[in-house]
Amino acid sequence: MASTPAPTLPASRLWIRNPLAAFTANALDASGGIVVSGGLIAEVLAAGQVPSAPCQESFDAGNHVLLPGLINTHHHFYQTLTRAWAPVANAPLFPWLQHLYPVWARLTPRDLELATKVALAELLLSGCTTAADHHYLFPDGLEDAIDIEVRVVRELGMRATLTRGSMTWGEDDGGLPPQSTVQPADVILADSERLIREYHQRGDGADIQIALAPCSPFSVTKEIMAETAVLAERHDVRLHTHLAETLDEEAFCRERFGLRTVEYLESVGWLGGRTWLGHGIHFDDAEIALLGAAGTAVAHCPTSNMRLASGTARVLELEDAGVPVGLGVDGSASNDASNLILEARQALYLQRLRYGAQVPVERALGWATRGSAAALGRPDLGQLAPGMQADLALFRTDELRFSGSHDPVAALLLCAADRADRVMVGGAWRVVDGRIPGLDIAGLIAEHSAAARRLLNG
């Protein structure tokens, strides 16, 4: 006699109810809260509304500001080991890189694991649920760098776009990186295909996605840029690189290629909707129009750009031209933090210096949520709306820094919120009462700090 299949039980429903305030990154009103079911947002409730069906659980968010999970579009996780290093504390980009490349060339697998865990934990505690990392260092012994990052992302229960970076132009060829950090093109392309095959998830709800990311115009050849674009199109994955970060880079492109940066991008087949660019500062009006028409996105990195005195991206003009703009904390050796809610504050203030005090708080929060989701090609993230992934960040405003504040959403940036109280990824709480359950932060700091000292001491 055939057994009777077990009945399918309805997904448990959680009502996160009546938040102190909510930012939805769209026109919806979530002042009554949201309902989470099956890892998705099932309902968004206006004030006075109640769920359309019973909820098995509820969370009183009356002391919390509710946001979509923040999304980081540009980082270098390994750089948490070289924060605030005196020899580069006052250096612009090219000298900064020339001092640090030999240090980074000594990275071990355990170093990278610790650095990645510190970066992701710091991001998670700041309300970030999805992070893009640009890893381009594969010295001997670190060939499996992306595999290491995948394991740490899964351990912390976050989402990530991990980019298989590359460098092919070493010092011997007129580039900046040491020869020990460059790889042959065939090795890069073969490993890129392996990573896509083993880890890349497609569609809504993906936890791990792979993108391809030659480092920069001054560290890779035109040939590897063009071959990587072909590979990305063949496998339908995204492309990422640094571009137009400094005037030195602009001068390098003119001297080496006879082209400005966007002309160079177009010449190697990268000007299109699958590409997002780190920094994107030094574009003229015509280049902004080209990027907008192509749908090429920009990761705005205000703190790093200020720290290295690289310049100020023309974010409002980029957006108005049709360029998707997200936020990135950039590497933790040029920020020197991995805190995305603070990055949104910096973005607001830096753009107000360029465009005036009328740049809204909500626009800066939009860059950290909906804009960042668009930059990474994730239409399922970055908003509070039915059918979106239940990736959420909840902040309290009862600390001393908020005393006397009136608008809870504005207070997050204007009063410098720096730590989320609760963070959810795919319907699962990953931060509870300001802590990551199961993670020994003190032990991580001790081991990570020891690794940093060893790395800098050679």
DSSP-based three-state secondary structure for 277: strand
How far is 433 from 438, CA to CA, in rounded Å? 13
- Does domain 70-375 fall under CATH 3.20.20.140? My reply is yes
| Count of helices and strands (H, E) across the chain | 15, 17
336-392 pLDDT tens trace? 999 999 999 999 999 999 999 999 999 999 999 999 999 999 999 999 999 999 999
Listed in sequence order, the DSSP H helices in 157-221 are 185-199
Q: Which of 72-86, 244-258, 337-351 has the lowest mean pLDDT?
A: 244-258
The pLDDT, as a whole number, for residue 310 is 96
Q: Which residues pair with 163 in a beta bridge?
A: 134, 211
Confidence of residue 10 (pLDDT cuts 50, 70, 90): low
The pLDDT, as a whole number, for residue 5 is 47
Q: What is the mean pLDDT of the chain?
A: 96
Candidates 142, 75, 133; CA nearest to 106 is 142
Mean pLDDT across 124-151: 97
Candidates 457, 328, 332, 452; CA nearest to 80 is 332
276-318 pLDDT tens trace? 999 999 999 999 999 999 999 999 999 999 999 999 999 999 9
The pLDDT, as a whole number, for residue 174 is 79
Domain ranges of the chain: 13-68+385-431, 70-375
DSSP-based three-state secondary structure for 328: coil
Q: Which residue has the tokens 């009546």?
A: 18
Mean pLDDT across 101-118: 97
Q: Which residue has the tokens 């919806």?
A: 28
What phi and psi values does residue 365 have, to the nearest 5 degrees? -65, -35
The pLDDT, as a whole number, for residue 178 is 86
Q: Is the pTM of this model over 0.75?
A: yes
Tell me which DSSP letter residue 352 carries.
H
Q: Is the pLDDT of residue 3 over 60?
A: no
Angle between helices 247-257 and 93-104 (to 10 degrees): 80
The pLDDT, as a whole number, for residue 175 is 77
Q: Is the pLDDT of residue 7 over 50?
A: no
Confidence of residue 4 (pLDDT cuts 50, 70, 90): very low
Name the CATH superfamily housing domain 13-68+385-431. Answer: Urease, subunit C, domain 1 (2.30.40.10)
Candidates 39, 379, 384; CA nearest to 203 is 379
Q: Which residue has the tokens 């990573």?
A: 195
Angle between helices 145-156 and 185-199 (to 10 degrees): 30
